[in-house]
Amino acid sequence: MAQPDSKKIFFENLSGAGKAIAVLTSGGDAQGMNAAVRAVVRMGLYVGAKVYFIHEGYQGMVDGEENIREATWESVSSMLQVGGTVIGSARCKEFRTHEGRLKAAYNLVQRGITNLCVIGGDGSLTGANLFREEWSGLLGELVDQGLIEADAVQKYSALHIVGMVGSIDNDFCGTDMTIGTDSALHRIIEVVDAIMTTAQSHQRTFVLEVMGRHCGYLALVSALACGADWVLIPEMPPEDGWEEKMCEKLSANRAGMKRLNVIIVAEGAIDRSNKPITTDYVKNLVVKCLGFDTRVTILGHVQRGGTPSAFDRILASRMGVEAVLALLETTANTPACVVSLYGNQSVRLPLMECVQMTQEVQKAMDEKRFEEAVKLRGRSFENNLKTYKLLAHRKPETELPTSNFNVAVLNVGAPAAGMNAAVRSAVRVGISEGHKMFAVSDGFEGFYKGQIKEIKWADVGGWTGQGGSLLGTKRTLPAKHVEKIAEQMRKHNINALLVIGGFEAFESLLQLFEARATYEEFCIPMCMLPATISNNVPATDLSIGADTALNAIVETCDRIKQSASGTKRRVFIIETMGGYCGYLASVGGLAAGADAAYIYEEPFDIRDLQANVEHLTEKMKTSIQRGLVLRNENSNDNYTTDFIYQLYTEEGKGVFDCRKNVLGHMQQGGAPSPFDRNFGTKISAKAMQWISKKLVETFRHDEGRVFANTEDSCCLLGMRRRALVFQPVVQLKEETDFVHRIPKEQWWLKLRPLMKILAKYKTSYDVSDSGQLEHVVCNRPRDLDASVAM
């Protein structure tokens, strides 16, 4: 291995020897907390630190004794898929008093603990910071009382705090997503999808109450993800007279042949006078004004329960590891920090800056400065609200701009969950921009055959939650049919093209760009949105559909592992899809707690396989009962899934037996996850706004036509680290391995050592991306809004 330069620090340079780290969960529980606890414990042990559980939150810290126990590697086994928090959480009045914090300090010093990892909400983190500020004074008092020796003050002089936000409400400023939010959205969307079928049967209106006493994130995003007719949130109360407008909207939707209505209400919803808006009030209003059969469903604590989603497991695992790294690097002068998510990156922010910003939101709401409250929530929240308004509320025809542009939208390649949400968003945003929208069936095959028709606002109603591709999609590339496609573009006067798909869509845009030299019909703005479960498109960290596939893999792995519960020791070999791209195997392995994941991008040989078998054999001789090994379908021509299964079966004789499972197309099916619905919806809206801008820029008034032949008029919209970027497809050729249909550089490869560390392998971990302490920025620049994903 090459010597690391100053910008690239490797894990070996960081040591936790002689340090003691304690982890606790406090306040309300959230799915994914266990994944965070597991990551902190295993990373802490890996660097040589002692790690302690503090059971029952701050109450356990105050009570001490058996509530503070040393953790082992095995003590966090089989907890990744468990909801809630297995170490318990409690709200503690005693810790709010000076006497309570004095007891807590004594209990920590007794065990030599000076590093604290707190997983909770803003109240829990504020308490931790106060404890840190009082620490030296508390130790002085303990010396005066004769409870500790005087040299302990010097030995344990500073308390280091790192926080992770565990809250389903996503109400903490400074992070795009908090641990538990995505899982709560899964629970909500599962209920909404189920309710929609019964509502449609009986032509009913349903009023759903979701959690969010002070934050409307869950209500807003679930409304966006299911296409709700109306949403009520505390940050942006409806204008006076909203009751009449809502009833008009519900009535208009019914008149447009819609058989159901869904209204989502945050539990903290208020009107402009700060008066609560309850679900019963909304129900009675609909019944009185419209006479619709209306029912109320209050989701309550269902939203907190259940298994954590793949997103929450990965987020919590990454944050847990980052928290330990932050504790290793901290000094006496380092302020308490919180590990946050910004775009697709872990960052560290000063804890109290985030807390103060969060409190500013509530203050703005109390003072009826609602526009400011929305801005203070961050760009992600603001974008969610704008997108919802754009897609849910159609302007009257008289208010729409008249652009006289025709825009075609089509799906290319294999189906991916979330494609339909992207098409719905494109159609509605396009109509709002004044364009005439055309839908192309069956990709470019349908294009050259003339399967093109105008698509209206109401035609895409209810598409958000549908899996697959309702337009139809084929892998056919346009090169062989460019003449016929150009003819169809002339016939329908297509002025811009939005292509939603995977690697075939990328190749298609390259072919159409090259065809501009021969056919002027392709000299129009063209944009591609990445949509593939394989996540193998260049120039984007994430693709529409990949999150749904990851959840399918993780849910199946959970069930498969559970099938071995109570039996003899067993190892499961699971084959995932992805072509030559190992994203699903690697990130799915991290989320499912796999022991190994074999992929094409990281070549392996028989010695590696043998080492993995020996490693598993050693673990199985202790208390580990089940092993999980993932293999990407094209990882190696010779070391097939059958070969690996037979090898493990033979070499594991007498220690464990083996089973194999090929997951196949179940990874491609099913309803899209909340993440994919929102990612598809919002990047599609952004793409349509880009197309509108390009149409105006490239319209030649003297000729009465659009003419765009520059590289930057044929782009892929992708998410790169912290930024959403429109990138000319022709400039991406150098970044792409066309033989294996993968990007030459892939960000998620940096997560593979993390999976190995958590599976007890010795490895190098590149921490060059590790967060330096940054500062909270209220409104990030628009071009850096990677938080569009959620």
Active site residues: 169
664: its two tokens: 């196949």
Residues 375 and 25: their CA atoms lie apart, in Å, by 29
As beta bridge partners, residue 736 has 743
Question: How far apart are alpha carbons 600 and 744 in whole angstroms?
Answer: 12
Tokens of residue 743, six digits: 């990007």
User: What are 603-611's contacts with CB under 8 Å, separation 24+?
Assistant: 603/636, 604/635, 604/636, 604/639, 606/639, 609/639, 609/644, 609/647, 610/651
What are the C-alpha distances in Å from 626 to residues 398, 550, 563, 567?
64, 21, 10, 9
Nearest by Cα to 571 from 563, 583, 580, 581: 563
Amino acid of residue 629: V
Give the separation between CA 544 and CA 673, rounded to whole angstroms: 10
Among 38, 131, 147, residue whose Cα is nearest residue 92: 131
Distance CA 711, CA 694 (A): 12
Which residue in 549, 546, 511 sits closest to 528, CA to CA? 511
3-state secondary structure 327-379: HHHCCCCCCCEEEEEECCEEEEEEHHHHHHHHHHHHHHHHCCCHHHHHHHHCH
Q: How far apart are CA 194 and CA 184, in angstroms?
A: 16
Asked whether the beta carbons of 787 and 387 are under 8 A apart, the reply is no
In the numeric block, the tokens 């790690």 are attached to 51
Cβ-based burial of 262 (10 A; exposed 0-12, middle 13-18, buried ≥19): buried
Helix (H, G, I), strand (E, B) or coil at 770: coil
Q: Count other Cβ atoms within 10 Å, centred on residue 531.
A: 34
CA–CA separation, 53 vs 67, rounded Å? Answer: 8
As a whole number of Å, the CA-based R_g of the chain is: 27
Nearest Cα neighbor of 235 from 121, 354, 368 is 368
Strands 526-530 and 496-501: parallel
Total length of the chain: 790
Sort strands 657-662 and 570-576 into parallel, antiparallel or unpaired.
parallel
Residue type, 732: L
Q: What are phi and psi of 391, to 5 degrees?
A: -90, -25
Q: What is the DSSP string of 218-279?
A: HHHHHHHHHT-SEEE-SSSPPPTTHHHHHHHHHHHHHHTT---EEEEEETT-B-TTS-B--H
For residue 433, give the 3-state DSSP assignment: coil
Distances (CA, A) of 127 to 61, 101, 121, 355: 12, 10, 10, 11
